[in-house]
Amino acid sequence: MVLIGAGLSALPRDALEAARMDGANEWQIFRRITVPLLAPVLTVVFVTLVINVMKVFDLVYIIAPGPVQEDATVLATQMWLVSFGGGNNQGLGSALGVLLLLLVIPAMVFNVRRFRRSQR
C-alpha cells in the first residue's frame, strides 16, 4: 500500500486536470490515465506479492493450529512436511522444491529485466 500510495502521489496533476477539462468522468480518468501511469508500480507490487506468496512458510506453519494445519498448507509448507515433518519422502520434497523454484523464477526474471530497463 505504501508503494501504491507513493505512486499515486507522484502522478502528474496536470494530466488529471486536463482529462477533467476535456469532460472525462472519474471512472474514465481512473481507467485511462491513473492505471496506465501507475502500471509500473502495480507491476512491481504484483510480482513482489507473487514471490512472497510462493515462499511463505513460517506464517502458515506457526499460526495454523495442529488439527487444521493440513487444510492451511501452501507449497513451501507441504515441501517441508513431506521431507522433514514426518513424511520421510525426500524425493517428493525435492520435487516440490524444484516446482516452487520453477514457479518463482519467471517472476524474478521479469522483475530483474524491468529494473535493468529502468536503469538505462
Give residue 32's pLDDT band: very low, low, confident or very high (50, 70, 90). Answer: very high
- For every residue of the chain, which 3-state class applies, written as one string? CHHHHHHHHCCCHHHHHHHHHCCCCHHHHHHHHHHHHHHHHHHHHHHHHHHHHHHCCHHHHHHCCHHHCCCCCCHHHHHHHHHCCCCCCHHHHHHHHHHHHHHHHHHHHHHHHHHHHHHC
Closest C-alpha among 57, 40, 64 to residue 100: 57
- pLDDT value for 59: 80
Give residue 61's pLDDT band: very low, low, confident or very high (50, 70, 90). Answer: confident
State the Cα–Cα distance between residues 109 and 80, nearest whole angstrom. 25
Asked whether the predicted pLDDT for residue 43 surpasses 90, the reply is: no
pLDDT per residue over 79-101, tens digit each?
A: 888 888 777 788 998 998 899 88
